[in-house]
Amino acid sequence: MGEVILTMKGIDKSFPGVHALDHVDLEIRKGEVLALMGENGAGKSTLMKVLTGIYKKDEGTITYEGKEVEFENPRAAQAAGVVIVHQELNMMSHLTVAQNIFIGREIMKGKLIDDAKMNEEAKKLFQKLNIDINPTEKMGNLTVGKQQMCEIAKAISHDAKVIIFDEPSAALTEAEIEELFKIIRDLRDKGMGIVYISHRMDEIKVITDRVTVMRDGTYVGTLITKDSTKDDIINMMVGRVIYEDPKTKSNVAPDAPVVLKVEHLNAGKMVRDVSFELHKGEILGFSGLMGAGRTETARALFGADKKDSGDIYINGKKVEINSPEDAVKNGIGYLSEDRKRYGCVVGKTVAENTTMASLENFMSGLFINKKKEEESAWKYVDALKTKTPTVDTEVVNLSGGNQQKVVIAKWLVRDCEILIFDEPTRGIDVGAKSEIYTLMNELVAQGKSIIMISSEMTEVLRMSDRIIVMCEGRKTGEIDIAEATQENIMHMATQRN
């Protein structure tokens, strides 16, 4: 680790009703990877947005390369060599990959944009990242994971001296994470200062040199990674121990009825002849590598994508699900992996989002009963420990984990009997994860049934009663939790039929 390249001292920032940062300190050195950790709502992303000119600080100083600075906007920060890769994707879906990477600094040929040159430069970036993405592909056609890799490529394309990764691996496969780590190590070896925000404790131990911890908008302390244990870091973050023991046996009664039966479901190339059953009170885990077809199966089941063929039975009765509305009427709720696109309307309030799927229950004639809506929203804010000043706060002002809780509340208000949780804890800290795990266990104890899609093996082994494994659009295995290991799941996940 080299000399200090950037210091933030006494940074204070308030929003209406929220003291987001309370005199926070941060130090970044050349040639190091600094982890920035804390629960959702701790202020990590806010601190980085102050650094890069997205927000204006109320108090404090930022010193960069020996000079006091305050960047007017992200472009000014980028020009100085301070770049951020955001947790939430900021790409334009109708533009190509290359156009997104060079947006605002397009390569020109005379008075015209030189798309061929931008495609060529983007291709070089992807070769450096060791990933296979076509620069001419429309951004909207890519998976969340591939879009995230494009966001990383865009940041690296700047001549950066400090680069901030905000949950960069949340949507990546294990292989993509390995490639990302190679790039980060290479950048560190070249003397760059790197801030790495992640909730994945195993990653922190592998890739970082120091760990700075925040809690409730304040600075808690900084540790040397190799001299610290996982429990040391978690205790600083949440003030309590979080246990992550795997489940050893199914909690589902042997005679539990089948609430959902799917037979020979086909939908495009990613869902091919998929059949499975879900029992009352069961958490059915769906495992597999990215691109296995798990999300596509869930979307076809929910009616979000058109199925080509296949039969769906609910409580023994055959049903037709051709739209999400049909699914909701049949008691199915879907928590999407992409909460901002499909889960919530960020420009609306917590209360409005909470009641969105059940609005007919909150009507008084032609008008919404606001008092009843607010009472319901507060009930689930309390139950899920959602951090929000009021239920009238717009969802865009909440942290990623708290946005996720609002989406869960929406389906709890609807009282769906079957819940599909697609990456339920993506981008969520260990404390909030534990709360969502507790909630899921409470829901199945009440007789609800859950399909849980997760890319985190520890999560699948901790929560599932039974596991369906997919590879390239097909179901390649089914295993009871008592027999499940990381090794046999991974074997099935790479087994092409």
Every domain of the chain and the residues it spans = 4-238, 258-493
- Lowest average pLDDT, out of 182-191, 322-331, 368-377, goes to 182-191
pLDDT of residue 398: 86
pLDDT for 230 = 82
- List Cα–Cα distances, 56 to 14, 61, 206, 222, 387, in angstroms: 10, 11, 33, 25, 22
Q: Does the pTM exceed 0.75? A: no
**CB-based contact 302:262 (threshold 8 Å):** no
The C-alpha atoms of residue 352 and residue 277 are separated, in whole angstroms, by 34
Please check whether the two domains, 4-238 and 258-493, share a CATH topology.
yes
- The Cα 212–Cα 6 span in angstroms is 14
Quote the pLDDT of residue 379.
94
**Ranges 88-92, 249-253, 473-477: which has the least confidence:** 88-92
Give tens-digit pLDDT for 345-397.
Answer: 889 999 999 999 888 899 988 899 999 999 999 999 998 888 899 999 999 88
Res. 276: pLDDT tops 60: yes
Summary mean pLDDT of the chain: 89
Cβ(321)–Cβ(311) below 8 Å = no
CATH 2.40.30.10 fits 258-493, yes or no: no
Per-residue pLDDT, 242: 56
What was the pLDDT predicted at 496? 64
In CATH, which superfamily holds the domain spanning 4-238?
Answer: P-loop containing nucleotide triphosphate hydrolases (3.40.50.300)
* pLDDT value of residue 104: 87
- Nearest-10 Cα torsion for 39, 467, 463, 427: 10
d(CA 78, CA 74): 6
Residue 215's pLDDT band (cuts 50, 70, 90):
confident
Higher confidence at residue 127 or residue 211?
211
Proportion of the chain above pLDDT 90, given as a percent: 60
Over residues 152-169, the pLDDT tens digits come to 888 888 878 999 998 888
State the Cα–Cα distance between residues 387 and 266, nearest whole angstrom.
40
Q: Is the predicted pLDDT of residue 241 greater than 60, yes or no?
A: no
